[in-house]
Amino acid sequence: MAMTRAARPLPALFADVLLCLALCLGMLGTAHAAIPKELILQLATGDSDEKIAAMGQIASSGDPAALPLLQAMADGRLQVLEEKQQVLLYNDAGEVTDAVTGAKLDPVPEGAEDITVNNRLRSALDGAMAALQLTAADTAVRLDAARNIKSSATPEMLPLIEKALQSEKDAAIRRLLLTTQASLQLSSDNVSTRLAAVKALAASGDSETKQLLLALLEKEGDTFKEPEAAVRAEAQKSIDDIDARLQMGEYAGMAFTGISLGSILLLAALGLAITYGLMGVINMAHGELIMIGAYATYLTQNLVRAYAPGLFEIYPLLAVPVSFMVAALVGVAMERLVIRHLYGRPLETLLATWGISLMLIQLVRSLFGAQNVPLENPAWLSGGVQVMSNLILPYNRIAIIVFAGLVVAGMALILTRTRLGLFVRAVTQNRNMASCVGVATPRVDTVAFGLGSGIAGLAGCALSQVGNVGPDLGQSYIIDSFMVVVLGGVGQLIGTVYAALGLGIINKLFEAQAGAVLAKIAVLVIIIVFIQKRPQGLFAVRGRFVEQ
Amino acid sequence: MQRRNFIKASAMTAAMALAGFSASFAQAQETIKVGVLHSLSGTMAISETVLKDTVLMAIDEINAKGGVLGKKLEPVVVDPASNWPLFAEKARQLISKDKVAVTFGCWTSVSRKSVLPVYEELNSLLFYPVQYEGEELSKNVFYTGAAPNQQAIPAVEYLMSKDGGSAKRFVLLGTDYVYPRTTNKILRAFLHSKGVKDEDIIEEYTPFGHSDYQSIIAKIKKFSSEGKKTAVVSTINGDSNVPFYKELGNQGLKATDVPVVAFSVGEEELRGVDTKPLVGHLAAWNYFMSIKSPANTEFVKKWSDYAKAKNIPGHKDKPLTNDPMEATYIGIHMWAQAANKAKSVDTDKVIAAMAGQTFKAPGGFISTMDKENHHLHKPVFIGEIKADGQFNVVWKTKGPVVADPWSDYIAENKGKKNVPEKK
């Protein structure tokens, strides 16, 4: 690439658009003739540079047809018929009009080709449309336009922005426009204007602004891009200010990803905290119970889609009880048929449950195929909320953190506040004594195992929203689950919570430093060392029970 | 009584077994066996399962036209389950026990490296249909996917061009195994040659099946804020791509800000991902389903009909074709042509006959097998993801490009000829 370094601090591609825009600014308000045919053809058939130039001219014409035309191009609703020199515009209803004359075309001429829009054209289009929308009546539209123009502004746009600023009342939009104005003034000839702009930008907290300021400090040969030392010093100060703010966002982001991973580990391990932690069953099929929960969610999704499409948005909520019930039933069947005969024989339990896990995997493979099944996130679980300029928290992860909290709370309530919970604790602490005072221990075992399995199913339901759902899903969580329960201390719910969140955060800290592969190894090493030093885990059960 | 019954039963079993044996023996006389070695379970199943079906479709097609050398082809399908050592075991089983004449298989380079010694030792043929890192040239393998100069290098050149966004900084992101590591080594050398410094390149790797891309995306965001225009080159393989692209969309990383170009993501991998937030992200291949050509229309129709007839999950409702499917399809047809030309399915005779074979590829051009280097001459396409999960071709080479498996950007390759060493 023999390109010269971009002399301007801003994306050079917008220069073209706005050069034309500036040229035509004088015409704004006067020229209300239709968009000239040559321009539309240039937009449709030119090379990228010509297209961008045409966009600028069309945008600055201020013609009411400009916005729909550019929008159609951005949405891929423009087609061109080269030999007839005709541009076709599809509207939302699928009707076709001639983009030049506006006449309806029926029948639609054949042989028209789509107009390709690549990333460069797309961002030029965004800029051109934003310029047209800066004076729109709707505040939301203006806000969007101000956001778009901020990332795609060029010096030629300055008069336009100043004009918009004069009439703009909304504080948020003003702030965006002022930042854009300041960033454009960076290339002003006047030193004091530049200095003021650099100072103003210190208040901004986003990475794009930082990139602009960084560009000032770059050297071109022996000279800096910014000739004035005072401005450079100020720019460095502003960068430090922005960095401090970005740093906050990074730390917050890291904490969030750690908690998010922790919540996933927690969900995966909670069921095991009951079946292994409380009941002492080394349940190697725990991962498969998670997998069954995920497949139950998949089935719910399909059923909802087939029979009640209106409820599709809330299918994950409907899937919660379904996945719990299905996994709990499988768990109860396992306990009744196999595990109950093996109490007190941990080795045999381990082998038997491992066998069951293989059978469950194969069963699911035969029923649903070996491939992953597709699960769609409903709209409210897609996307994220922008908390800081460099921090977006995805909704699906927030939902899982909340869900994990609810499950822990629910489980704590059941175990400490209900008669069933009392029985479960009694039986796991001293089976003989519980039996003596009239607790039906076999039934309690079954219910407790079913509860643990059901919670594993809930984990599957939640995991299906962030990861892949396939027959091997459980295999990737079983080791993590055991790790969490053992680290937290067998028999202690609160230990599981701490261990899951701790592992999540430690894992993410390492990942940020050393990458995902080394992080995984490091976490395993830490756990091994920890268990060597403290075999009872973070929280040990006190009392006679331990010495048995 | 019991004993008599037992004798009767065992005699019957023996007779049946004998009959079965002779039947299968008779069959072996009439058919040519073809091995299919693709993961049908595990992390790679998302990509490989459909290649198995493509081979079966092509076999049906060849058989309908009379087969090869007057004999019908008989597929032998095995599942190596995304387990690399198992690939070698299954390959040996296909060659030694099932006596297949040729095998179509493998996706990941680590699986190809695993089976390579088997094919060389037993002198059998493997057709490998996926783009890969080069740095290998075995006389027993025909590589119908792209070498780095037919995919990776043009893609990065595009990113650095004005239309591609004039990227100056690069995140090389991949799954942790031989293909991404080697490709990134070549790309790093290539970027150096274009004046990109080491501080403007970061490499990140994740394990197979990784599903939590939060910190990686955060890292990309941070890196892109530290200087000039940044682009991501993704060599993530397998089902990890689904959580990666989901996270990318959820975290709002737009293609106009930081474009991601992927080498192992096609129409099939994006199935089930909401592609609306991903519009504009890129993939580089030698074929896209959206390519407009009569040959492609026919190929897509064939596949749709086949998927419907065979009730292939997913494809029966929404048939998709992709680059490795095309490469598989070209490979098996070329092999059939070469076998017919050689009048034998003997490995060495077919290898000799493969040189210079041509086939009208679905991509809309004549695909040629190089006379020497066991690779196809292929055109390169770069596509942007559209809202409907298809790709919009934004750049392509003028014509087919000759493969360069020993990349010149790796210093040790100086002087290496693109010809397999005879063994």
Average pLDDT over residues A157-169: 80
**Mean pLDDT over all residues of chain A?**
84
Q: Which of A207, A371, A382 sits opposite B45 (nearest CB)?
A: A371
Neighbours of A413 (CB within 10 A): 11
Interchain proximity B225–A511, CB inside 8 Å: no
The CATH number that applies at residue A335 is: 1.10.3470
Is residue A290 domain-resident?
A: yes
- E strand or H helix at A78: strand A78-81
Chain A residues lying within 8 Å of B207, measured CB to CB: 516-517, 520
Residue A393: both structure tokens together: 């928290």
A535 prior amide bond cis, ω within 30: no
Are A130 and A274 contained in the same domain? no
Q: What is the percent of chain A with per-residue pLDDT over 70, rounded to a whole number? A: 91
Is residue A7 domain-resident?
A: no
Is residue A525 domain-resident?
A: yes
B193 touches chain A (CB under 8 A): no
Q: Which of B49, B219, B250 sits opposite A382 (nearest CB)?
A: B250
B311 touches chain A (CB under 8 A): no
Are A269 and A383 contained in the same domain? yes
Are A121 and A254 contained in the same domain? no
Are A364 and A485 contained in the same domain? yes
Beta carbons within 8 Å of A55's beta carbon, 6+ residues apart:
A17, A43, A70, A121, A124, A125, A128
DSSP-derived letter for residue A468 is -
Burial of residue B245 (number of CB atoms within 10 Å: 0-12, 13-18, 19+)? buried
pLDDT band at A4 (very low <50, low <70, confident <90, very high): very low
Could you tell me if A67 and A130 are in contact, meaning their C-beta atoms sit under 8 angstroms apart? no
Give the pLDDT of residue A159.
75
B355: Cα within 13 Å, side-chain hemisphere: 10
CA distance A457 to chain B (A): 19
Chain A residues lying within 8 Å of B196, measured CB to CB: none
The model's pTM:
0.85
Beta carbons within 8 Å of A101's beta carbon, 6+ residues apart:
none
Is residue A240 domain-resident?
A: no
Q: In what order do the strands lie in the sheet with B365-369?
A: B358-361, B365-369, B376-377
Chain A residues lying within 8 Å of B225, measured CB to CB: 207-208, 210-211, 246, 390
Q: List residues bridging with B10 in a β-sheet.
A: none
DSSP-derived letter for residue B233 is E
Beta carbons within 8 Å of A194's beta carbon, 6+ residues apart:
A185, A186, A187, A188, A226, A228, A231
Q: Which of A122, A466, A476 sits opposite B256 (nearest CB)?
A: A122
Q: What is the percent of chain A with per-residue pLDDT over 90, rounded to a whole number? A: 33
Task: Please give the Cα distance from A300 to A202 (Å, whole number).
Answer: 51
Residue of B nearest to A520 (CA): B207
Q: Which of A370, A383, A392 sits opposite B45 (nearest CB)?
A: A370
Give the pLDDT of residue A30.
38
Is residue A349 domain-resident?
A: yes
Q: Which of A118, A386, A520 sits opposite B163 (nearest CB)?
A: A118
Beta carbons within 8 Å of A48's beta carbon, 6+ residues apart:
A118, A120, A121, B162, B163
Tell me which of A165, A192, A210 is where a domain ends: A165
pLDDT higher than threshold 70 for residue A20: no
B207 touches chain A (CB under 8 A): yes
B316 touches chain A (CB under 8 A): no
DSSP-derived letter for residue B411 is G
Give the pLDDT of residue A541.
64
Comparing CA positions, the residue from A287, A292, A297, A294 lying closest to residue A476 is A287
Chain A residues lying within 8 Å of B250, measured CB to CB: 382-384, 392, 394-397
Average pLDDT over residues A455-482: 91
Residue A281: both structure tokens together: 């069953």
Burial of residue B23 (number of CB atoms within 10 Å: 0-12, 13-18, 19+)? exposed
Interchain proximity A384–B251, CB inside 8 Å: yes
DSSP-derived letter for residue B136 is -
> Which of A170-174, A524-528, B11-15 comes out lowest in average pLDDT?
B11-15
- E strand or H helix at A380: none
Residue of B nearest to A476 (CA): B209
Q: Which of B205, B206, B227 sits opposite A211 (nearest CB)?
A: B227
- E strand or H helix at A299: helix A286-307
What SS3 class is residue B236?
coil
Q: Which of B40, B166, B176 sits opposite A370 (nearest CB)?
A: B40
Residue of A nearest to B46 (CA): A371
* ipTM of the modeled complex: 0.82
Interchain proximity A515–B205, CB inside 8 Å: yes
Domains of chain A: total = 2
Are A256 and A161 contained in the same domain? no
Chain A residues lying within 8 Å of B194, measured CB to CB: 1
Give the pLDDT of residue B148.
93
Integer angstrom CA distances of residue A530 from A191, A264, A541, B207:
61, 22, 17, 24
Interchain proximity B250–A512, CB inside 8 Å: no
Interchain proximity A375–B160, CB inside 8 Å: no
Indicate the residue type of A19.
L
Residue of B nearest to A381 (CA): B250
Interchain proximity B314–A468, CB inside 8 Å: no
Comparing CA positions, the residue from A437, A438, A439, A457 lying closest to residue A449 is A457
Could you tell me if A115 and A79 are in contact, meaning their C-beta atoms sit under 8 angstroms apart? yes
Could you tell me if B320 and B289 are in contact, meaning their C-beta atoms sit under 8 angstroms apart? yes
Residue of A nearest to B382 (CA): A118
Beta carbons within 8 Å of B132's beta carbon, 6+ residues apart:
B109, B112, B143, B145, B146, B147, B179
CA distance A281 to chain B (A): 28
B222 touches chain A (CB under 8 A): yes
Interchain proximity B166–A3, CB inside 8 Å: yes
Could you tell me if A285 and A334 are in contact, meaning their C-beta atoms sit under 8 angstroms apart? yes
Q: What is the pLDDT along chain B (423 residues), one digit of tens a residue?
A: 455 565 555 555 555 555 544 444 444 458 999 999 999 988 888 889 999 999 999 999 999 999 999 999 999 999 999 999 999 999 999 999 999 999 999 999 999 999 999 999 999 999 999 999 999 999 999 999 999 999 999 999 999 998 888 899 999 999 999 999 999 999 999 999 999 999 999 999 999 889 889 889 989 988 988 878 899 999 999 889 989 998 998 888 889 889 999 999 999 888 877 788 889 999 999 999 999 889 999 999 999 999 999 998 889 888 999 999 999 999 999 999 999 999 999 999 999 999 999 999 998 889 999 999 999 999 999 999 998 889 999 999 988 999 999 998 888 888 778 888 765
Chain A residues lying within 8 Å of B392, measured CB to CB: 76, 116-118
Interchain proximity A394–B222, CB inside 8 Å: no
Chain B residues lying within 8 Å of A260, measured CB to CB: 214
Give the residue with greater pLDDT, A208 vs B187: B187
Give the pLDDT of residue B13.
55
Is residue A426 domain-resident?
A: yes
Give the residue with greater pLDDT, A47 vs B153: B153
Chain A residues lying within 8 Å of B384, measured CB to CB: 118-119
Report how far Cα A101 is from the mean position of its chain's Cα atoms: 44
Integer angstrom CA distances of residue A415 from A40, A125, A180, A331, A408:
71, 59, 57, 18, 10
Residue B334: both structure tokens together: 């070329």
Is residue A177 domain-resident?
A: no
Are A267 and A381 contained in the same domain? yes
> Which of A151-165, A277-291, A420-434, A439-453 comes out lowest in average pLDDT?
A151-165
Count interface pairs A-B at CB distance under 8 A: 163
Give the pLDDT of residue A9.
43
Comparing CA positions, the residue from A120, A125, A121, A148 lying closest to residue A58 is A125
Chain B residues lying within 8 Å of A239, measured CB to CB: none
Q: Which domain holds residue A443?
A: 249-533
Interchain proximity B393–A116, CB inside 8 Å: yes
CA distance B346 to chain A (A): 34
Could you tell me if B128 and B144 are in contact, meaning their C-beta atoms sit under 8 angstroms apart? yes
Tell me the residues of chain B between 22 and 81 that have a Cβ less than 8 Å away from chain A.
40-43, 45-46, 49, 79
Chain B residues lying within 8 Å of A48, measured CB to CB: 162-163
What DSSP assignment string belongs to A109-156? PSS-EEPP--HHHHHHHHHHHHHHHTT-S-HHHHHHHHHHHHTT--GG
Give the pLDDT of residue A452.
94
Is residue A297 domain-resident?
A: yes
Interchain proximity A253–B218, CB inside 8 Å: yes
Residue B106: both structure tokens together: 């493998």
Tell me which of A165, A198, A218 is where a domain ends: A165
Task: Please give the Cα distance from A37 to B367 (Å, whole number).
Answer: 42
Bridge-based pairing of strands B230-235 and B169-175 is parallel
Chain A residues lying within 8 Å of B249, measured CB to CB: 382-383
Tell me the residues of chain B between 323 and 382 that have a Cβ less than 8 Å away from chain A.
none
Test mutation, B47, B214, B219, B382, chain A, max A CBs within 10 A: B214
Give the pLDDT of residue A542.
59
Tell me which of A142, A165, A188 is where a domain ends: A165
Are A308 and A430 contained in the same domain? yes
pLDDT higher than threshold 90 for residue A376: no
Task: Please give the Cα distance from A254 to A256 (Å, whole number).
Answer: 5
Give the pLDDT of residue A548.
42
B396 touches chain A (CB under 8 A): no
pLDDT higher than threshold 80 for residue A518: yes
Q: Which of B41, B165, B221 sits opposite A370 (nearest CB)?
A: B41
B290 touches chain A (CB under 8 A): no
